[in-house]
Amino acid sequence: MFETLSEKFESVFKKLRGEARLTEENIREAMREVRVALLEADVNFKVVKDFTRGVTEKAVGTETLKSVRPSQQIVKIVYEELVAMMGGAVAPLRLKPGETQVMLLLGLQGSGKTTFAGKLAFFAQKHGLRPILIACDVYRPAAIRQLRVVGEAVGVPVFDLGTETPVPEIALKGLEEGRRQGRELAIVDTAGRLHIDEVRMDELVELKAAVRPAYTLLVADAMTGQDAVNSATAFNDGVGIDGVCLTKIDGDARGGAALSIRAVTGKPIYFVGTGERPADLEPFHPDRLASRILGMGDVVTLVERAQEAIDARQAEELQRKLKREEFTLQDFLDQMQRMKKMGPLGSLVKMIPGIGSLAKDLDVDEEAFTPTEAIINSMTPEEREQPDLLNGSRRQRIARGSGTTPADVNALLDEFRTMRKLMSQMMKGSLKPGGAGGLRKGAVNHRAALSAAELSRMKPKHRRKRKTKKTQKGRSR
At 198 the pLDDT is 54
Is 397 a residue whose pLDDT tops 90? yes
46-60, 102-116, 254-268, 440-454: least confident range:
440-454
Residue 360 CB contacts under 8 Å (≥ 6 apart), including other chains: 3
Is 444 a residue whose pLDDT tops 60? no
pLDDT, greater one: 456 or 263: 263
pTM: 0.65
Percent of the chain whose predicted confidence (pLDDT) is above 90: 17
* Collapsed DSSP state (helix, strand, coil) of residue 271: strand
Is 461 a residue whose pLDDT tops 60? no
Q: What is the pLDDT confidence band of residue 134, given thresholds at 50, 70 and 90?
A: very high
**Domains of the chain by range and CATH?**
3-85 (1.20.120.140), 101-285 (3.40.50.300), 301-456 (1.10.260.30)
Is 6 a residue whose pLDDT tops 60? yes
Alpha-carbon distance of 7 to 10, in angstroms, equals: 5
pLDDT, tens only, 270-303: 998 888 888 888 888 888 888 877 766 555 555 5
